[in-house]
């Protein structure tokens, strides 16, 4: 029987908001405007996933699918240093793949599944940063929306299947509707892109907004079983922290 585990975000307050952390066998989505910390959180999880945790969790390897070319090994080194981990070992435990278009992004999941199968029980986390960016480029026309949503549905159901079959946490980042113009004055009005398909596919949705300086505000979005309260966290040189 597969035992569900939870990965720490680096912030104990954020972990608590999430009911313990980012859960395996499910998809967690984080969305928010630019510079809200989605990529920084992705990098922090790359490191915390390698550390032992509660309930006998022993840590493991990470697969990172990067669609925006924002993966930064230097950031991982700094985060590893914060947790007193060997920097080289931390980097070696992260498999990196760049996706060039939405079709390639989907095809990469074949290699991901093959790798997870080959090294059974070793991989604990799969990150897609960001899940919608390439779809928005490849299906930008009004008339392409139905096609986009159909392809997105295929991607998300594959991600869900992988999370369950290999007992990994799937963590995806997402964008909001107003990213080409100014963000709405009321950040609570910001909506994630991806429509119903993404809404249904994500088990947990986390909304981020900017606070003062390095502080950010996180809120659970639309959850049937988690409280909709807010917490604040900080983006530091050592990654996400309280």
When CB distances to Mg ion are compared, the closest residue is 39
Answer yes or no whether residue 161 interacts with ligand ATP by CB under 6 A.
Answer: no
Residue 230's Cβ-side half-sphere holds a number of Cα atoms within 13 Å equal to 12
- Strands (E) across the chain are located at 6-7, 22-23, 26-32, 61-66, 94-98, 123-129, 169-174, 204-210, 215-220, 230-236, 239-241
The answer to whether 54 and 198 are in contact (CB under 8 A) is no
Out of 37, 59, 60, 194, point to the residue binding ligand ATP (CB under 6 A): 37
Answer yes or no whether residue 48 interacts with Mg ion by CB under 5 A.
Answer: no
Contacts of 212 (CB under 8 A, 6+ apart): none
Answer yes or no whether residue 102 interacts with Mg ion by CB under 5 A.
Answer: no
Answer yes or no whether residue 36 interacts with ligand ATP by CB under 6 A.
Answer: yes
Answer yes or no whether residue 242 interacts with ligand ATP by CB under 6 A.
Answer: no
Choice between 117 and 214, CB closer to ligand ATP: 214
Answer yes or no whether residue 209 interacts with ligand ATP by CB under 6 A.
Answer: no
Out of 73, 154, 237, 242, point to the residue binding ligand ATP (CB under 6 A): 237
Kindly identify the residues of this chain, within the stretch 57-76, that bind ligand ATP according to CB under 6 A.
Answer: 70
Query: Could you tell which of Mg ion, ligand ATP, none binds residue 3, using a CB distance below 5 to 8 A set by kind?
Result: none
Q: Residue 81 class from Cβ within 10 Å (0-12 exposed, 13-18 middle, 19+ buried)?
A: middle
Q: Where are the alpha helices (DSSP H) in 119-144?
A: 133-138
Residue entry with tokens 């981020």: 208
Residue entry with tokens 């669609």: 67
Choice between 162 and 193, CB closer to ligand ATP: 193
Question: Cα 123 from chain centroid?
Answer: 15
Out of 8, 39, 50, 167, point to the residue binding Mg ion (CB under 5 A): 39
Out of 2, 35, 161, 215, point to the residue binding ligand ATP (CB under 6 A): 35
Helix then strand count (H, E) for the chain reads 8, 11
Choice between 36 and 163, CB closer to ligand ATP: 36
Choice between 35 and 200, CB closer to Mg ion: 35
Q: What is the distance between the alpha carbons of residues 192 and 208, in angstroms, rounded to a whole number?
A: 11
Choice between 12 and 70, CB closer to Mg ion: 70
Residues that bind ligand ATP (CB under 6 A): 32, 34-40, 70, 214, 235-237
């Amino acid at each position: 029987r597969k035992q569900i585990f939870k990965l720490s975000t680096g912030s104990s307050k954020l972990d608590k908001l999430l009911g313990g952390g980012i859960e395996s066998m499910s998809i967690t989505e984080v969305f928010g405007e630019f510079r809200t910390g989605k990529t920084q959180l992705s990098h922090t999880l790359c490191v915390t996933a390698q550390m032992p945790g509660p309930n006998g969790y022993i840590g493991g390897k990470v697969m990172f699918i990067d669609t925006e070319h924002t993966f930064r090994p230097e950031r991982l080194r700094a985060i590893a240093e914060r947790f007193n981990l060997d920097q080289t070992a931390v980097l070696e435990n992260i498999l990196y793949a760049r996706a060039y278009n939405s079709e390639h992004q989907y095809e990469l999941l074949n290699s991901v599944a093959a790798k997870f199968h080959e090294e059974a029980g070793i991989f604990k986390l799969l990150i897609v940063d960001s899940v919608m960016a390439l779809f928005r480029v490849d299906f930008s026309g009004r008339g392409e929306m139905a096609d986009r949503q159909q392809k997105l549905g295929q991607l998300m159901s594959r991600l869900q299947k992988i999370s369950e079959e290999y007992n990994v946490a799937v963590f995806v980042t997402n964008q909001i509707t107003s990213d080409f113009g100014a963000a709405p004055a009321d950040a609570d009005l910001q909506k994630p892109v991806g429509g119903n398909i993404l809404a249904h596919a994500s088990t947990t949705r986390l909304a981020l907004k900017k606070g003062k300086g390095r502080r950010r505000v996180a809120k659970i979005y639309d959850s049937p079983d988690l409280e909709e309260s807010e917490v604040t966290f900080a983006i530091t040189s050592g990654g996400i922290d309280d």
